[in-house]
């Protein structure tokens, strides 16, 4: 048994002082002055306790543009844990002949590596009669969410009629459809024009993916969901207009939800114009300050339900090794697009940064309450994706996934604190106040004041059922 004494507990709805008793993998009791003479005691007076973060949007060991994202299911999980996240949900590409084979291939990647608990979403990027028949079987494999794309013509995109069909199948089976909302046709035209006129710099990644394409695609996705009478979750929202369209749909009673990511709250297209602009290349791209302002309002007023990360890191210079756990590691990265923005691997390191950065620049800056912080980064994702109250909760019977947070700790953040397996951090040199001190996964201490106590293979696959519509 483990007894955490005298912290302030912060949940999605309440803030209060109490002790927490952990027995095995579960929270056994929460209350004032718990008496447990046989328990190991941690004095957490002056500290905060949150439920471990739940990141609903990650990409580990993902092949792209002739390379692979630099965090796998061990290194990425380890980085997540150092930032206070204890559950992640990754995406299974539809790369094999069947959905079953695709899921098996992704399990093989995670097998023996997972260091925290994890689940899978299923990408649907080819829709045939066989795939339609196989989708309901995903529930037997613990996968209750599907992702579809309106962009990436010829690779990942489904046509609107196909997305409509996926939405209907999902609705019939109590599943949730997730949408990447951009206009693939417009992107293709603008990319061809940019390359033809010699515009190859990283900033053109954003300029060839106009914000209006996302605005239109969000509304189109909501309209398709309305016609299918199905729920929809729009991933990585990055535009003010997209939030407005989501609000329009929600105001009319549609069961649609939205996610944003830290990169869209803190960085803009101007970062892509820097000499090292490739570091910020992700899809959808960074936007403007006015978009950031609307995203923050959307989080505060409940139009947006979650903050994921879309974690998909690559080396900035994959020709130069870094040391990771005593080994020299070099993985081809963003230098692949040094002379052509279309060849820059799309994605950013973010899974370990999410909670520390959002605490300082969300909560302490007055943009979010502490309870909203917990809701957006833990409880809401757990509810939406069928994990609550096992995850995302401080309740008796919940998994003892806990973060003891030191609200007074000041760090100059960056590579010295982040543990992503890559050669840069987007928040290098940012001063943060408040940081994880101890992180527990199902009652086991896996991070202790900067020391890694976790291990590969300790994470478990989470079979998920139908979640909630928030």
Which pLDDT tens digit goes with each residue over 15-46?
999 999 999 999 999 999 999 999 999 999 99
Instruction: List the chain domain ranges.
Output: 2-50+395-452, 52-384
Give the pLDDT band (50/70/90) at residue 391.
very high
- For 289-336, the pLDDT digits (tens) are 999 999 999 999 999 999 999 999 999 999 999 999 999 999 999 999
- Among 460, 330, 455, 306, CA closest to 383: 306
Task: Find all residues with CB under 8 Å of 455, minimum gap 6, and list them.
Answer: 115
- Work out the average pLDDT over 439-451: 98
Q: Are 307 and 261 in contact (CB under 8 A)?
A: yes
Q: What angle do CA 462, 350, 363 make, to 5 degrees?
A: 95
pLDDT value of position 441: 98
Contacts of 120 (CB under 8 A, 6+ apart): 89, 90, 91, 92, 103, 106, 142, 143, 461
| Cα 130–Cα 133–Cα 134 angle in degrees, nearest 5 | 85
The full DSSP string for 41-78 is EEE-TT-EEEEPEEEEEE--S-EETTEE-S--TTHHHH
What is the structure's pLDDT at 410? 98
Instruction: Break the chain down into helix, strand, coil percent, rounded to 5.
Output: 30, 25, 45
Q: What does the pLDDT average to over 56-72?
A: 97
pLDDT at 215: 98
* Mean per-residue pLDDT, 188-209: 98
| Percent share of the chain, pLDDT over 90 | 100
pLDDT at 333: 98
Q: What confidence score (pLDDT) does residue 203 get?
A: 98
Q: How far is CA 151 from CA 155, 185, 187, 213, 402, in A?
A: 9, 8, 8, 10, 38
> pLDDT averaged over the chain?
98
Contacts of 43 (CB under 8 A, 6+ apart): 5, 6
Mean pLDDT of the 7-11 span: 98
C-alpha distances (whole Å) from 296 to each of 23, 104, 210, 358 are 38, 38, 21, 11
Task: Please report the sign of the dihedral spanned by the C-alpha atoms of residue 115, residue 258, residue 167, residue 251.
Answer: positive
Looking at residue 276, its pLDDT comes to 97
Quote the pLDDT of residue 104. Answer: 98
What pLDDT is attached to residue 160? Answer: 98
Output the furthest CA–CA distance in the chain (Å, rounded): 74
* pLDDT tier, 170 (very low <50, low <70, confident <90, very high otherwise): very high
The CATH code of domain 2-50+395-452 reads 2.30.40.10
CA 353 to chain CA centroid, nearest Å:
11
Listed in order, strand segments (DSSP E) in 129-255 are: 145-149, 176-180, 232-234
Q: Which CATH architecture has domain 52-384?
A: Alpha-Beta Barrel (3.20)
List 180's β-bridge partners, or say none. 149
Measured distance CA(470)–CA(369) in Å, rounded: 18
pLDDT tens digits, one per residue of 333-363: 999 999 999 999 999 999 999 999 999 999 9
**Interval 225-246 mean pLDDT:** 98
3 state DSSP class of 189: helix
């Amino acid at each position: 048994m483990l007894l955490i004494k005298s912290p302030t507990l912060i949940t999605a709805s309440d803030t209060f002082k109490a002790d927490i008793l952990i027995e095995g993998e579960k929270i056994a009791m929460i209350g004032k002055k718990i008496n447990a003479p046989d328990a190991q005691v941690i004095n957490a007076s002056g500290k905060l306790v949150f439920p471990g973060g739940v990141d609903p949007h990650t990409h580990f060991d993902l092949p792209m543009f002739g390379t692979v994202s630099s965090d796998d299911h061990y290194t990425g999980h380890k980085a997540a844990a150092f930032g206070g996240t204890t559950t992640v949900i990754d995406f299974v590409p539809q790369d094999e002949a069947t959905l079953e084979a695709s899921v098996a291939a992704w399990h093989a990647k995670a097998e023996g590596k997972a260091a925290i608990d994890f689940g899978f979403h299923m990408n649907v990027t080819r829709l045939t009669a066989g795939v339609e028949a196989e989708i309901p079987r995903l529930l037997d494999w613990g996968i209750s969410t599907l992702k579809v794309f309106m962009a990436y013509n010829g690779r990942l995109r489904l046509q609107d009629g196909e997305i409509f069909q996926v939405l209907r199948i999902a609705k019939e089976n109590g599943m949730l459809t997730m949408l990447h909302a951009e206009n693939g046709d417009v992107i293709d035209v603008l990319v061809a024009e940019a390359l033809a006129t010699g515009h190859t710099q990283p900033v053109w990644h954003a300029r060839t993916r106009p914000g209006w394409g996302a605005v239109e695609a969000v509304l189109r996705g909501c309209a398709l969901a309305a016609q299918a009478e199905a729920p929809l979750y729009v991933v990585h929202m990055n535009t003010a207009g997209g939030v407005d369209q989501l609000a329009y749909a929600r105001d009319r009673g549609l069961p649609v939800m939205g996610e944003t990511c830290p990169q869209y709250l803190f960085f803009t297209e101007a970062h892509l114009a820097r000499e090292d602009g490739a570091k910020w290349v992700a899809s959808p791209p960074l936007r403007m300050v006015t978009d950031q302002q609307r995203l923050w309002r959307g989080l505060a007023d409940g139009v947006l339900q979650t903050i994921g990360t879309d974690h998909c890191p690559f080396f900035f210079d994959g020709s130069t090794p870094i040391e990771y756990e005593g080994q020299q590691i070099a993985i081809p990265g963003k230098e692949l697009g040094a002379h052509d923005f279309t060849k820059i691997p799309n994605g950013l390191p973010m899974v370990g940064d999410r909670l520390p950065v959002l605490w300082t620049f969300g909560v302490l800056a007055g943009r979010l309450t502490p309870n909203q912080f917990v809701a957006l980064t833990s409880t809401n994702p757990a509810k939406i994706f069928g994990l609550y109250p096992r995850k995302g909760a401080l309740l008796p019977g919940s998994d003892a996934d806990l973060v003891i947070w030191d609200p007074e700790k000041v760090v100059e953040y960056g590579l010295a604190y982040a543990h992503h397996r890559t050669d840069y951090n987007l928040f290098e040199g940012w001063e943060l106040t408040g940081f994880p001190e101890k992180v527990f996964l199902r009652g086991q201490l896996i991070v202790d004041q900067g020391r890694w106590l976790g291990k590969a293979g300790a994470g478990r696959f989470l079979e998920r059922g139908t979640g909630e519509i928030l």
